[in-house]
Amino acid sequence: MPTIGRETPDQDEIRALFAASDAVSADLYPAESNHPVYADTLTGPAARFFVARQDGRAIGCAALMLGGGGQSELKRMYVDPSARGTGLGAALLRTIEETGRRDGVRLIRLETGIHSHAALGLYRRFGYRERGPFGRYRPDPLSVFMEKALTPL
C-alpha cells in the first residue's frame, strides 16, 4: 500500500517525476500551453507538497499552492505510469483537499490540458467544475480550467 506524506520537492526522485510529467506534457501540448512549476516555487511557505511512495520509491506527487482569500491552486499532480489505475491519483487529491481544509482553503483551482483525459475524469468525479482562466493564465483552447469550493463561498 502506498504512503503519502509531505516532503520537499528538492530531491532527485522528485526531479525525475517532474521530468516524466514534463515529457508527457511536451508530447501532448506546445510549450506555450504548459505551465509547470518547479522545486524553487514548491519549497516556499505557500506550498504544500506531497509525495506518494511505494516501497520507498516515489511514484506520485501533488502540490497545493496557497493564495490569498482562501483560494489555492493544485499544481504538479502526477502519477507514475506503473501506479496508474490503482486509486493513487484519488488518494493524492483527497490529501490535497484535506490539507486545504485544515489550512483554511475555501476554493481550489487548477489548469490541465484537454488531452489529459484521466486527470479530467478524476477532477470531475471529485466535483471540480469548469470555469474560465484565472490568475496569470490566459484563454487557451488546449487548457481546461476548473475549480472546487471546499466550503461555501
pLDDT in tens, 63-120: 999 999 999 999 999 999 999 999 999 999 999 999 999 999 999 999 999 999 999 9
Q: What is the CATH number of the domain that holds 80?
A: 3.40.630.30
Residue 151 has what pLDDT? Answer: 85
- List the domain range (segments joined by +) for residue 18: 3-149
pTM: 0.95
Residue 153 predicted with pLDDT over 70: no
Total tally of structural domains belonging to the chain: 1
Chain centroid to CA 111: 9
CA dihedral 17, 18, 21, 23 (to 10 degrees): -110
Q: pLDDT tens-digit profile of 25-56? A: 999 999 999 999 999 999 999 999 999 999 99
Residues sharing a CB contact under 8 Å with residue 108, sequence separation 6 or more, in sequence order: 64, 72, 73, 74, 96, 97, 100, 128, 147, 148, 150
* 16 three-class SS: helix
